[in-house]
Amino acid sequence: MARKSRETPEINAGSMADIAFLLLIFFLVTTTMDSDSGISIKLPPWEDKPQENETKYKARNVLEVLVNSNNQLLVEGELLKVNQLRDKTKKFITNYGADENLSVSPDKAIVSLKNDRATSYKTYIDVQNELKAAYREVREAYSLSKYGRKYDQLNPTQEEEVQNKFPQKISEAEPETIGKE
């Protein structure tokens, strides 16, 4: 008796490419990608024309903050810890000309920040946070005294008035090697 040999049926591979493509699209659409958002800082608008005259600022209206490569803070020649920076900045902003070494008024007060290239990222962020927190607390105190409400509860007109009274002027210089101590 002769036996018939059975042939193995072929699998149709034509739709395999379609299935692989659909799976690829599915995973691309459903997968989330983490992206670093960076630091949110509002930059001044770009001006095409060069400035004709440089604005000169009185030294008393500029709070100089230096951060060296050892992550040490030098504020107006005084060695400070990061947690002391907020109070020093608030005192500088709200001086109103009382102390002749501090700013004349809040709208003339400028904080100049200069970092060393070797400053750690954590120290850089901590210093930025303290400076912004000082402005936030000054604005909060003013809005409570003038309007009896917290700064975030003010209407847009009142909020703009508080911002104009205490403009956040933080000037950040290009990092360089300040020196090791």
Please tell me which residue, 105 or 12, carries the higher pLDDT value: 105
- Measured in whole angstroms, how far is the alpha carbon of residue 31 from the centre of its chain? 28
Cβ 172 vs Cβ 132: under 8 Å = no
CB 78 within 8 A of CB 66: no
Confidence of residue 181 (pLDDT cuts 50, 70, 90): very low
- pLDDT > 90: percent of the chain: 41
- % of the chain residues with pLDDT over 70: 83
What rounded mean pLDDT belongs to the chain? 84
Is residue 69 within 8 A of residue 181, CB to CB? The reply is no
Query: Left, alpha or beta for 159 (phi > 0: left; psi -120 to 50: alpha)?
Result: alpha
Is the entire prediction scored with pTM above 0.85? no
Per-residue model confidence (pLDDT) at position 73: 92
Query: Tens of pLDDT along 97-127?
Result: 888 888 888 888 999 999 988 889 899 999 9
Task: Give the confidence band of 23 by pLDDT, cuts at 50, 70, 90.
Answer: very high
The domain spans of the chain are 61-172
* Residue 53 pLDDT: 54
* pLDDT band at residue 77 under the 50/70/90 scheme: confident
Evaluate if residue 56 carries a pLDDT over 80.
no
Using alpha carbons only, what angle is made at residue 62 by residues 133 and 60, rounded to the nearest 5 degrees? Answer: 125
Query: Could you tell me the CA-to-CA distances from 17 to 20, 24, 25, 58, 139 in Å, in that order?
Result: 5, 10, 12, 72, 62
- The confidence score (pLDDT) of residue 70 equals 92
What's the token pair of residue 87? Answer: 């109070």
The region that residue 179 occupies, defined by phi over 0 for left and psi between -120 and 50 for alpha, beta otherwise, is left
